[in-house]
Every structure is written in structure tokens, then in C-alpha cells.
């Protein structure tokens, strides 16, 4: 875990093509491994949220929940960025995924309360996996620079966050539906950009790479689940 700085310096100094490829492949393997591990605390966090009733408390206080989410998420992401070259960064990342799991319990609890809730969760999980597989495959064949796309997607993500905060008070069903559809599209495209960056050596720190791809997967899953709940949910 302390070899992150070595990878970055080695890449900046200019390695032989074969060596550079080996570095990229190693970072990609480490990223996928840590990404898979990060799902464990996410599941634990979601279970804790529902087992303790935190998901119900969050549903009753959406404004306070948003404040806690913003402080917790951005605070942990800041800590991960500052410690990304050490094992502390890995532990903070796992703590972040635990926290995100607790936040996810609100949506999970709502959907699992439906008659076909478990099926909807599995559909959302499967849909997210299919999207990730498609974007990861594209990332390996696209050779063009995607920085321009990344900038547009960042602007879109910021606008989505503003719309999401506003809709806590507006409570407009049409805005919520539009938000979820756009979020699936934007974060699916972010998957392509973030995996492409690792594949092409643009990101040499697997902790940062894992965080970016995890956020893409998380947002796609949550919004797919919301859409499935809206269109396919069956009341008990």
C-alpha cells in the first residue's frame, strides 16, 4: 500500500512500454480487488442502518440526513485524498463505504418494504453489474482522450447535486424521476471515464481509482433502484 508514490514517480519519469503496461495492469488489479472488498462494508452498513432503525429516522428527517451525508461523505473523501499513499487511505476508504452503506439503508428499506422488494434489489444490482461490464469493456478499446467528456460530466454531476438538494423541499415527483434517469446516464459515463483513466495510465493510485469507480457504481445502483421502485414496485 505504500508503493503508490513509487508508481506515480516511475510513471512520471517515463518507463519502458512493457514496464508501464505492467504498472497499469497492477494498478487495475489492485483497484478491482479493493473495489470488491469495499462492497463488504457497504453491505454491513446497509444492514446496520436497517437493523437499528436509522433508515426510518433518515426518512423522517430528510434535511438533516442530507447535511449529515454531505459532511460525512466529503469529510471522508478529503481524508482519503490526503492519505491516499498510505494504508490509512485504504482504511478510510473502507470506512467511507461503510458510511455509504448506512446512507443506502434508507432507499433499501423503502424498496424492501414492497411486495417484490428483493427482486427489485437484485434487478438493480444486476443492471449495475451489466453497465459496469459494458463501460469497462469500452474503456479498454477507446483510445481517444476523454478529458473533455469528464469535464462535462462533472458539471452535470454538480447540477444533479443541486437539484437533489432542492427537491428535498420541493418534493416534485417529475424532478425526482428526471434526476434518477440523468444520474444513471451521467454516472454510467463516469464509469467509462474512470476505468479508462486507469487503463491508460492516467491514474496510478489504486485508492483514488477505487473511490472514483465505487462512487459511479453506488450512484448508478441507487438511482436504478429508485426507478425500479417507481415503475415496478408492488405495494403490500
Share of the chain above pLDDT 70, in %: 92
Per-residue pLDDT band at 224 (split at 50, 70, 90): very high
Average pLDDT over residues 145-160: 89
pLDDT for residue 232: 80
CB burial string 198-219: b at 16+ within 10 A, e below: bbebbbbbbbbbbbbbbbbbbb
- Is residue 133 packed enough to be buried (19+ CB in 10 Å), middle (13-18) or exposed (0-12)? exposed
Q: Residues with Cβ < 8 Å from 48, sequence gap 6 or more?
A: 54, 101, 102, 105
193 or 234: whose pLDDT is higher? 193
Closest CA to 227 of 162, 187, 183: 183
Average pLDDT over residues 92-103: 97
| Residue 183, all three cell numbers | 444520474
Lowest mean pLDDT among 49-53, 70-74, 189-193, 198-202: 198-202
Per-residue pLDDT band at 236 (split at 50, 70, 90): low
pTM for the structure as a whole: 0.88
pLDDT in tens, 169-181: 777 788 888 889 9
Cβ count within 10 A of residue 33: 12
* SS3 of residue 158 by DSSP: helix
Amino acid at each position: 500500500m505504500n508503493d503508490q508514490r513509487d508508481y506515480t514517480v516511475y510513471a512520471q519519469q517515463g518507463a519502458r512500454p512493457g514496464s508501464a503496461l505492467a504498472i497499469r495492469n497492477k494498478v487495475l488489479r489492485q483497484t478491482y480487488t479493493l473495489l470488491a472488498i469495499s462492497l463488504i462494508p457497504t453491505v454491513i452498513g446497509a444492514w446496520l442502518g436497517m437493523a437499528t432503525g436509522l433508515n426510518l429516522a433518515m426518512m423522517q428527517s430528510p434535511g438533516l440526513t442530507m447535511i449529515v451525508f454531505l459532511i460525512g461523505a466529503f469529510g471522508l473523501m478529503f481524508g482519503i485524498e490526503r492519505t491516499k499513499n498510505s494504508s490509512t487511505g485504504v482504511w478510510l476508504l473502507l470506512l467511507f463505504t461503510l458510511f455509504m452503506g448506512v446512507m443506502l439503508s434508507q432507499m433499501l428499506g423503502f424498496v424492501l418494504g414492497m411486495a417484490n422488494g428483493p427482486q427489485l434489489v437484485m434487478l438493480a444490482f444486476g443492471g449495475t453489474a451489466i453497465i459496469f461490464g459494458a463501460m469497462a469493456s469500452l474503456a479498454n478499446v477507446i483510445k481517444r482522450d476523454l478529458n473533455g467528456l469528464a469535464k462535462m460530466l462533472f458539471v452535470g454531476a454538480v447540477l444533479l447535486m443541486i437539484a437533489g438538494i432542492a427537491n428535498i423541499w420541493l418534493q416534485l415527483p417529475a424532478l425526482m424521476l428526471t434526476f434518477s434517469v440523468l444520474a444513471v446516464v451521467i454516472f454510467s459515463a463516469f464509469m467509462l471515464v474512470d476505468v479508462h483513466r486507469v487503463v491508460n495510465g492516467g491514474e496510478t493510485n489504486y485508492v483514488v481509482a477505487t473511490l472514483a469507480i465505487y462512487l459511479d457504481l453506488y450512484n448508478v445502483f441507487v438511482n436504478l433502484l429508485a426507478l425500479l421502485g417507481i415503475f415496478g414496485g408492488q405495494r403490500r
